[in-house]
């Protein structure tokens, strides 16, 4: 019985993690004008108020382009892409490696570069 419970846990834990990852939603557009792109990355700046209001209903993210840093969502059956820096999501990414090549010596520099270095080469 103990071995069966261990086996079930080992099989379901990765599935639970995968399901949680698939539930990413846009909660807020962070700027008054958002650069929205089509699937060919033809982009236009549009006013955020012309987009669906994620406060009324969070917008599911259906794809991610890691190279370009773009998130895909669907509006009125049309695929749209937005820069991940222009939205607030319901989940935060965690860096697997936190490092930087910069030698920070002054306190003011430490404040400026506090957010840099995540995922950069070591």
Distance CA 79, CA 74 (A): 5
Distance CA 96, CA 78 (A): 33
Residue 100 pLDDT: 58
Residue ranges of the domains in the chain? 24-89, 92-122
**Do the Cβ atoms of 77 and 93 come closer than 8 Å?**
no
Q: Which of 120, 117, 50, 110 is nearest to 80 (CA)?
A: 50
Distance CA 68, CA 39 (A): 12
Residue 61 pLDDT: 95
24-89 to CATH, choices 3.40.1280.10, 3.40.630.40, 2.30.30.40, 3.30.70.3340: 2.30.30.40
Q: Is the pTM of this model over 0.85?
A: no
Residue 4 pLDDT: 41
Return all residues near 39 (Cβ < 8 A) that are at least 6 apart. Answer: 79, 81
Distance CA 113, CA 102 (A): 9
Residue 7 pLDDT: 38
Could you list the pLDDT tens digit for every one of the 122 residues in the chain? 544 444 344 444 443 343 445 589 999 999 999 999 998 889 999 999 999 999 998 899 999 998 888 999 999 899 999 999 999 999 876 655 555 566 656 555 545 544 444 444 45
């Amino acid at each position: 019985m103990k071995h069966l419970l261990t086996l079930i846990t080992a099989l379901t834990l990765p599935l639970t993690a995968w399901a949680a990852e698939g539930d990413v939603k846009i909660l807020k557009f962070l700027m008054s004008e958002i650069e929205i792109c089509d699937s060919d990355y033809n982009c236009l700046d549009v006013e955020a108020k012309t987009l669906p209001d994620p406060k009324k209903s969070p917008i599911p993210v259906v794809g991610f382009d890691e190279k370009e840093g773009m998130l895909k969502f669907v509006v009125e059956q049309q695929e749209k892409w937005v820069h991940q820096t222009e939205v607030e999501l319901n989940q935060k990414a965690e860096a697997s490696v936190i490092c930087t090549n910069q030698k920070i010596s002054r306190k003011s520099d430490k404040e400026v570069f506090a957010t840099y270095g995540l995922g950069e080469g070591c």
